[in-house]
Every structure is written in C-alpha cells, then in structure tokens.
Amino acid sequence: MKKIIFLILFIINMNVFADGGQPFSFLKNGVGVRATAMGKAFTAVANDVSSIYYNPAGLLRLNDLELTAETYLLSFGRNMNYIAIGKPFELNKNVYASGFSWINFSSGDDIEERITNSDSPESKFSNSANLFIFSTATQLIKDFYVGGNFKFLFQNIKDVKGSGIGFDLGVFIKLFDNFNAGFTIQNISTNVNWSNTSHIETLPQYFLCGISYEFSDTVFDKEIHIIPAFDFIYTSPDYYKIGLGFELTYNKFVSIRVGYNDTFSAGFGLNIQTTPVFSIKLDYTFLNDLILKEEFNHRLGITFDYVFPHWGKVEKREEDKEKKEDNDEW
C-alpha cells in the first residue's frame, strides 16, 4: 500500500522536521533483540554487545569477541538495522574493553510532501539517519566497571543534512553474589547541527538506573538460569518510566524472554554451540509499535561469539586469580 503522509512544514529558523518532535526520536525503539524482549531493562544486565547502547561498562562482561547483526521491521514501512562488535582485553595487567556499533534508520524514500490541500503530492523525499558509536570500558576496582561512548550522528531529511556528536557514560557494579546494579547517562552534550541554518537541536538526556539478579544454577534445577531485571528511566522535564524484564534459559540452549516498557514484549533465543570456543545465537522479539499500538514490530538478530585461548569472562578470571592466590598462600 502506498505510503501517504500529510506534512505541514513550519519554517522557523529551519526547514526540517523531526519524527516525534525531537531529533533521533527513533532511538526510543531501543536496540538489541534480546534487550528489547526484556523491556529494555538492560542497564544492570549488560552482558552482551548491546550493552554499548544501554550501559557501555557492560562490555567487560562479554565472554570474549562478540559480533551481532539485527534488523527491525516497523510500521509505515520504516526499518532499523543494528550492527555491533565488542571485545574485552588485557593490557599491562589491567582489563579493558572496546566496541563499535552502527544504528541505521529509514522512513523510506517515498514520503509524500503536500504543502497545499491537493490530491497529488508536490514532491517525494526520503528520511534516513545513521548513528556510529565508539565505546571503551575499564575496571576501576574489583566488581566496579566504568565505560563511555563517543557518538557521531547523521541525518538526511529531503535536501537538508544534520550532523552532530555526543557522549554516554555508564557504570556497572556487582553489589554481592549475583546481584548487580547499573547506572547510565545518555546523550551528554549531544547536539545536531543542520545545514543551511544556524539552528542547533539538543537530544534530551536520559538517566537510567537498574538492578538485576542472576539466579545461579544451584538455586533451581542446574539446567535453568533466570534473570529478572528492573530499570528506572528519567528524562527532563519531569518524565519517567520503568522497564521490567525477565529471561529464563534452559541448558544454555533456549531462552524465553518477556518484558514491559510502555508496552509488553516477548521473544526467544537459541544458542548453538558449534565448538567449545565458537557459538551462534539466533534471537526473535515482537512488541507493539510505538505509533500504531495495534501493530507489531518484529525483530530478528544473529550473534557470533568467539572465545580466544587463555581468555574468559572478567568475573571468571577474578575467581581463578583468587583461587591461585589462596593456593600460593597455602
């Protein structure tokens, strides 16, 4: 069906418009098939490469090298694509992590512009945006990780181009046992400048605070792993909401996820361990569209994990180090 969008362009220091009344509002859809299935309550979970978006400090929690590619099918023919890669590493006996991600959004190239009340559009144009994120993280002290993002933003609407830069900051804390906390500030000093105008748009800052608990295999059946998560999200002026997420994994092979964040979401994942050091994950999520509540978004993703020899999770490396120190003392 032909896409028809009626536009009234108000010319006030600029000749562009932003979906939802603010630049890059498509980011409200979130990223990460697994994370969105869990209601985007991922600030204190942050153990896959989508943590770049929710809490960059979580990059230190990756098993090792991780690469993911995802696509989201939205209403009105819109689509989003997400690619990310991340890896922790050791340098001078300190642990670090780095990552890169790309978020692409398109409203299509057949948006119809009508300045007058006519049956035929005066013209057609496209709306697309790209966000490139460079991330780094380090461990300050035991069980306390910090990470940051440096972002480049680009958007094309009709014949007008916008560009800008911005920053995110995230903290991840292992409070005790399997209880985790996370805190993230998104869009620090993040502005978009538009061509042919002096107008500057500022992306709203988001403050994310979350907690999660990872039930160990000894609590339930040894084949079952459960993660409940809660996020509190605040942005000015005085707007806040919550995110709730739940994931159940059986035998490290199949996962079932549900969540809530403005709308209910659900999904599942399969983890195919092809070799002891290489695995492939397939994920699917569906949730109500933010614009058309009766429509569903469908999200598909594939992730590749590779563990290099002599490397493991930061938490596992810390446990091995403590055991070695205990043995040395003995």
Beta strands in 179-261 (DSSP E): 179-194, 200-202, 206-213, 224-235, 239-250, 254-260
Q: For 79-109, what is each residue's pLDDT tens digit?
A: 899 999 999 998 888 899 999 999 999 887 6
Which pLDDT score, from 0 to 100, does residue 12 have? 27
How long is the chain? 330
Q: Please, what's the largest Cα pairwise distance for the chain?
A: 86
Tokens 């990223």 locate to 31
Q: CB atoms < 10 A from the CB of 28, how many?
A: 14
Arithmetic mean of pLDDT over the chain: 84
The encoded tokens of residue 4 equal 């028809």
**Domain 33-329 is classified in which CATH homologous superfamily?**
monomeric porin ompg (2.40.160.40)
Q: CB atoms < 10 A from the CB of 243, how many?
A: 26
| pLDDT < 50 positions in the chain | 1-20, 324-325, 328-330
Q: Which residues pair with 269 in a beta bridge?
A: 255, 283
SS3 195: coil
Which pLDDT score, from 0 to 100, does residue 6 have? 34
Q: For 115-148, what is each residue's pLDDT tens digit?
A: 767 666 666 666 889 999 999 999 998 899 999 9
Q: For 65-76, what is each residue's pLDDT tens digit?
A: 999 999 998 877
Which pLDDT score, from 0 to 100, does residue 217 have? 63
Rounded CA-CA distance 259/88 in Å is 28
Which pLDDT score, from 0 to 100, does residue 290 have? 75
Tell me the domain boundaries of the chain: 33-329
DSSP state string for 87-135: EEEEETTEEEEEEEEEEEEE--S-EEE-SSS-SS-SEEE-EEEEEEEEE
The encoded tokens of residue 112 equal 């119809």
C-alpha dist (Å) from residue 88 to 47, 144, 183, 214, 307:
12, 15, 20, 21, 11
Task: Give me the amino acid identity at 324.
Answer: K
CA-CA-CA-CA dihedral for 10, 12, 17, 23, to nearest 10:
-150
